[in-house]
Every structure is written in C-alpha cells, then in structure tokens.
Copies of this chain bind each other. A is one copy, B any other.
Amino acid sequence: MKYMYWLLIFIPITLVARFGLQLNDGLVFLFCCFGIVPLAAVLGDSTEQISLYTGPKIGGFLNATMGNVPELLICGFAVQAGMYSLVLASLAGSILGNILLVMGMSIFIGGLKYKFLPFNKNITHNNFTLLGFAAFSIVVPFFFKYSGGGGITEHSLSNFSLALAVIMIVLYLLGLIFSLITHRDIFDDEDEDEDGEKEAPEWSFKKSLSVMIGATVCVAVMSEILVHTVEGAAEQFGLGEAFIGIILIPLLGNVAEHASAIMMAVKGKLNISIEIAVGSSMQIAMFVTPLMVILSALLGNTMEYVYTPMELLGIIISIVIAATVFMDHKVNWLEGAELIAAYIILGGAFLVFGIG
C-alpha cells in the first residue's frame, strides 16, 4: 500500500485550497477525497504494527475499529450538520460495499487461485448472527412508520429510535465480551500460522501509536471539510445524493481496507478478509449507526432510525445473500461473482432510481 502514501500531499493541498485560497466547494471536496484515501491506509498500517505488539485478538479488533474511524468521523460531522439522510445513506452504502463488493472481490479473486476457500465458520456465524440482529432491528421502526399504526407520533418514534440504538450498542458490547473474552479461543485463525514464522514489527510501539493518533486527527479535519463541501460539490458536479451517499463516501474511507481484504484472500487467508469486510460491516451496523442516533439525541434532535425502503431492502438483501454464500462453510469464485453482481444491481438501482 506504500504507493498510496504519495497521496498524502493532498492533505496540505486541501487545507490551502480551503482556508488559504478559499477555492470553490467542488475543488476542495475533490482534493479532500484524495486526501482521505491515504489516511485510511496509514491508519491501517499503524494498527497492523500495533497488533504485532498486542497480539492478534486485540489487534484484529483494533484494526476493524480504526478502519471505521473515517466513516465514524464523517458521519459524526454530518449528524452535527443535521444531514441525517446522508448519514443513513452512507452507512447503508458502507454495509453494501463491504459485504457485497469487497467480500465478493476477495472471494472471486481468491477463488480463481484456490478451488475452495475454507474459513473459520465461527467467525462468520458470530458476525452474521449479529448482522441478522441488526437487520431485524432496523425493520421494526421502519415497519411501524410505514404501516402507519395509530400509536406513531414523531415523539414516540424518536424515543423508540434512541432506545433501539442503546439496545444495539449493548448487544454489540456483549458481542465484544464474547469474542475477546469468554469465547476468544473459537476464533483462532489457523491460516495465519500457515508459514510457521512470526512477523516482526517494523515500527516501534511508540511510533505506531503516534502515527495512529496523528492520522486520526488528520482524518477528523478532512472529514469536517468533506461534510461542509459535499453539498456544494454535488451541485457543481451534478452528482445525486444517492451517488454521494451510497457509493462515494463509503468508498473513500474503505479503499485501503478493500485492497487489504483482496490481498489476504489471494494469500488464502480468507478469515482476515472476512474480518475486514463482514466484521467491519457488522461494526457499522451494530455500533457506528446506533452511535450516530445517540449522538443526535445528545445534540438535542434525535435522528429517526428509519431507513428509506430501498436502503432497508439493500441492507437486508446484502446480509441474506452473503449469509447464503457462507452457509456451506467453503466458498468459490462463482459465489464471489454473485456478490459482485448483487452489488452492481443494487448500486445501479440506486443510481437509476434514487435512494427511494
């Protein structure tokens, strides 16, 4: 991923363009996009280094979490700006992109090399049970809103959204206790020890930590600029809300992860690809999104936890299709192709028809 580091030059360019030259929103947004991509890579590299000190358990969790920092910050600033529909669209898009596109590419490319890609079924079962829970949870307020029961008021829906968000985060935390403490041994990735030798860290612990913190601060700054220029840019370039929310923003924070997931699959280490793609989706669904609802409540105007019909459909279909693919405990290139095809159909539908 080293070549991506050259793109870091876009961070000062963005800052100068925004605050120095005060260029128009479209240009600043563009620079900002280029700047976030390498920052995601830096975040990934530094957490990988740290995980060599902390061991694979904590490391894997750190990796998934830091990988979602860009989404977290972008959405956090968007919540602050009251752009609720953008928040939900980009989180839905992140789930779609990770589960269908990233996982699909990993399986497809890995599957061209290996006849079957085996994986630790406890990892997928754990992730998909929580993802299934997330899917179910978001159906409930949606259904109540659209089936138009008598008891629906804006107030009751806000309260329910907040309560739902709290329950989801509690369950997510219980899931962490499960996978990091009480049942940590069932997630052991045997394929990581394949080559018998232990990887040595390249950076010192102190350096890794400093880089990670520095990169996070930079991501925060870039995210803030991104959110405040996105509307101007959309108008200027004629991009619809659907394209920006469902496709563009999810892609920005994930380019580095996408590359890692595919690389790992090619090396036959599918468990790591699954953690990156599916585990990250699960974290978005069960932690980042509820957190945004809670954040909006703290800021005084609770976001309704109600996706548009098409976003909901997209999320549910992604989870069901991917769960079906993983059901028989080994995957092949055709199943990768199916996931990619599903992404093309859903993504295309959003572009043609809007976010519904």
Contact = CB atoms under 8 A, between A and B. Distances in A.
Interface of A: 115, 121, 125-126, 128-130, 132-133, 136-137, 139-141, 143-144, 147, 149-152, 156, 159-160, 163-164, 167, 170-171, 174-175, 178, 182-183, 309-310, 313, 317, 320-321, 324-325, 327-328, 332-335, 337-338, 341-342, 344-346, 348-349, 352-356
B310 A348 contact: no
A147 B313 CA distance: 11
Q: Select the residue from A136, A324, A328 with max chain B CB neighbours within 10 A.
A: A136
A143 B313 contact: yes
Given A140-B313, A332-B178, A149 B338 contact: no
Contacts of A149: 309-310, 353-356
* Chain A to chain B: the 6 pairs with minimum beta-carbon distance, closest first: A151-B354, A149-B356, A147-B309, A151-B353, A178-B334, A144-B353
A309 B146 CA distance: 10
A338 B129 contact: yes
Nearest to A133: B338
A156 B352 contact: yes
A332 B183 contact: yes
Nearest to A338: B133
A324 B346 CA distance: 25
Given A163-B348, A332-B178, A310 B133 contact: no
Contact of A345 (B164, B325, B328): B164
Contact of A341 (B132, B159, B170, B337): B170
A95 to B, nearest CB: 15
A143 B314 CA distance: 10
A353 to B, nearest CB: 4
A160 B310 CA distance: 15
A346 B164 CA distance: 10
Contacts of A147: 309-310, 356
11 contacts: A133-B341, A140-B313, A143-B309, A143-B313, A144-B349, A147-B356, A150-B354, A152-B353, A163-B348, A171-B338, A174-B337
Nearest to A171: B341
A91 to B, nearest CB: 19
A144 B356 contact: yes
A132 B320 CA distance: 9
Contacts of A132: 320-321, 324
B345 A151 contact: no
A136 B346 CA distance: 10
A309 B145 CA distance: 11
Nearest to A318: B136
A197 B212 CA distance: 62
A147 B126 CA distance: 33
A143 B352 contact: no
Nearest to A344: B167
